[in-house]
Amino acid sequence: MKDEHKKAALNRLKTARGHVNAVIQMIEAERYCTDVMKQVSAVQGSLEKVNRILLNNHVETCVMEAVQENRVEQIVDELMETLRYTPGITGPTEEALL
C-alpha cells in the first residue's frame, strides 16, 4: 500500500473509531434517537471514505501491475466484484434496494 494511502486510511479509521465510541456513549446516556442516528451516519461516511482511499490505492497499485502483466480480464473481474461491496462509492445496487 502506498504510504500516503495507508496514512489517510488509518487516520479515517481512527476518526471512525472515535465516532463509534461517541455513539456508544450516546446510547448509554439514552440521547435523543435522531442525534444518535446523525452520528451513526458520520461513522458510515468515514468508512465510505476509507473505501475510496483503498480503492484508489488498489487502482494505482494492484490494477496497474495486473495491466502491465497482461492480466486485464482477471483484474477487471476482481475490480467489478470489489465494487459490488462498496455501494458508498458506486451507489446502491439493485440488490441493496430490495
Q: How far apart are CA 3 and CA 89, in angstroms?
A: 22
Instruction: Look at residue 21 in the predicted model and tell me its pLDDT.
Output: 97
Instruction: Look at residue 90 in the predicted model and tell me its pLDDT.
Output: 64
pTM (2 d.p.): 0.80
Tell me how crowded residue 50 is: count the other CB atoms within 10 A of its CB: 19
Average pLDDT per consecutive 10 residues, the chain (98 residues; last block may be shorter): 97 95 98 97 93 92 93 91 77 52
What residue type is assigned to position 92 of the chain? P
Instruction: Look at residue 91 in the predicted model and tell me its pLDDT.
Output: 63
Q: How far apart are CA 96 and CA 9, in angstroms?
A: 25
Closest CA to 92 of 75, 67, 56, 83: 83
Indicate the CATH number of 3-91 among 3.40.50.1370, 1.20.58.1000, 2.60.120.10, 3.40.50.970: 1.20.58.1000
Alpha-carbon torsion 29, 34, 39, 43, what sign? positive
Quick one: cell of 8? 489517510
